[in-house]
Structure 1
Amino acid sequence: MKPASDQRVTLHGFNNLTKTLSFNMYDICYTKTKAEREAYLEYIDEQYNADRLTHILRNVADIIGAHVLNIAKQDYVPQGASVTMLVSEGPIVEVPTESYEQSPGPLPNNVVLQMDKSHITVHTYPEYHPDEGISTFRADIDVSTCGEISPLKALHYLITSFDTDIMTMDYRVRGFTRDINGHKLFIDHEIHSIQNYIPDEIKKQYDMIDVNVYQENIFHTKCRLKEFDLSNYLFGYTSDALSEEEQANIIESLQWEMDEIFYGRNIT
């Protein structure tokens, strides 16, 4: 039985439920020539280098109330970057009821909540198709916490930190904790959908699909940007530099790419 969202449960010892958010974003771009592809990858590597990613993860740590213990970061050749951050609990304070509510989390500010034995990671994957003129940038972020707060509270900030055409989000609660009578609790808060942690103004911009397995405490949401302006997908020029036929062909290629990523399968 799941405890009500407005009901605090007295636990036996530390809350050692593990709550993990996996956030994946995709940016898609049409790059017609080899020079355009190389310039796009250079831009992505500069925009999302290891230092910038470290700044993003530090803000995530602030939002979930973590103390950073250790940071490992690396920029790769020819492209991509990774950051791994080991974090521990911040100063233990009374956790506000809001931490259990299904509502969007804050943008970076001074939030201190209880957590322990946790980590935050990000890996980036810029790549391009060698023949068809499509370049993509993917970033994978994992936020794993133990304690009172859900990493979903960092989701609002993560979405605003990237230019995102497609997002996939997974949230899972693992393990168990015990109440003072020794009764196992496999989740300590109500959750109906990851969408409830995304602000309305962002949800209006995306088509969203949920796949949830409530009995296993597994929640999945994927999102695709509704508005399509071809100029936003061209690198270094706008659509008015192209003929109508060129525009139509490029739009078809881009939307095909987005469909395959969104649905997770090759479309023939």
Structure 2
Amino acid sequence: MNKLQLHGFNNLTKSLSFNIYDICYAPAEQQQAYIEYIDEAYNADKLTQILKDVAEIIGAQVLNIARQDYEPQGASVTMLISEGEAPPPPSMNSQSPGPLPETVLAHLDKSHITVHTYPESHPDNGISTFRADIDVSTCGRISPLKALNYLIHSFESDVVTMDYKVRGFTRDISGKKHYIDHKITSIQDYIAIDTQESYQMIDVNVYQENIFHTKMMLKETELENYLFEKECDLSADQKAAIESKLHKEVTEIFYGHNYRQRYEEVKA
């Protein structure tokens, strides 16, 4: 593909909003331990390292970092970034997955990356839901899409929602305005095939507005993976009830609707 010859700086702003939900079953007596576990697993220091890796993947330089652990729970990190001195690799804007965590090599400079976490537990039904929101906003040639593979594998994700938006315009040397500087048909093109096969996925795209939205819900679920305390002596009826609660939680988050009537019928 021929390189776009621009007049001046690339003024396009590319924004990726990445949200994950991790669902767990932790009855009342385990909920405080669950919150403490999440706060340790995803504290500000560990989230900072994730964001540094994201910066490296998309070829940016870190200018400033602000981070905070909150009481009673949760953490936030904000990182100012800018485009690096070296030009991004030719594959930066290709419609292909980015690297996985074990293959991260690189550096971010001219926008920001933020992460906020929201661990919570239901006081009655034992369902705990951990949410992490990550926003990557870049200006210029670099794009946040190459960080998706890494982000998905950095968290235990039952539901993932992703929004990508290209805003503004830049001019080429003839004065023509360009509202996007790379081809994209779907966010899914930036996610590895094995990951795609593990999730149910849907797209809602508004091409004329350069808005792209993808949702993912894990297909295969085993109860053992959702129990905070793995060694639980549960009867068949108890397992069925917990599985029903977990299925309801994941489905409601994925579709953005509550299904109380159907759930109450299952309980009865």
Shift of 1:92: 2.9
Aligned length: 258
Work out whether residues 78 and 112 of structure 2, in 8 Å CA contact, stay in contact via their aligned partners in 1. Answer: yes
The residue number in structure 2 matching 1:149 is 142
1:259 aligns with 2:259: no
| Distance in structure 1 (CA, Å) of the matches to 2:112 and 2:89 | 22
Q: Secondary structure of 1:160's partner? A: helix
TM-score by length of 2: 0.93
For the aligned residues, what is the CA RMSD?
A: 1.3
- Residue type of the alignment partner of 1:235: F
Residue identity over aligned pairs, in percent, reads: 65
| Distance in structure 2 (CA, Å) of the matches to 1:25 and 1:74 | 20
Pick closer, same or farther for the CA change 1:29–1:215 going to 2, 3 Å: same
- Residue type of the alignment partner of 2:133: D
The residue number in structure 1 matching 2:265 is none
The residue number in structure 2 matching 1:237 is 230
Q: Which runs of 5+ in 1 are unaligned?
A: 1-5
1:8 aligns with 2:6: no
Q: Secondary structure of 2:49's partner? A: helix
2:33 alignment partner, one of 22, 36, 39: 39
Q: How big is each residue's C-alpha offset from its partner over 1:221-241, in whole Å with a ceiling of 9 and x where there is no partner?
A: 0000011100111111246x2
The residue number in structure 1 matching 2:126 is 133
The residue number in structure 2 matching 1:228 is 221
Give the alignment of 1:150-165 within 5 angstroms: 150-165=143-158
Q: How big is each residue's C-alpha offset from its partner over 1:177-235, in whole Å with a ceiling of 9 and x where there is no partner?
A: 00101111000111000000000011111000100000000000000001110011111
- Residue type of the alignment partner of 1:8: K
Q: Which runs of 4+ in 1 moved over 4 A?
A: none
2:208 alignment partner, one of 215, 220, 239: 215
Q: How big is each residue's C-alpha offset from its partner over 1:121-172, in whole Å with a ceiling of 9 and x where there is no partner?
A: 0000000111111100000000110111210011111111111111000000
TM-score by length of 1: 0.93
1:83 aligns with 2:77: yes
Q: Secondary structure of 1:204's partner? A: helix
Q: Which runs of 5+ in 2 are unaligned?
A: 261-268
1:72 alignment partner, one of 44, 66, 71: 66
- Residue type of the alignment partner of 1:138: R
- Residue type of the alignment partner of 1:146: C
The residue number in structure 1 matching 2:198 is 205
The structure that is helix-richer by fraction is: 2
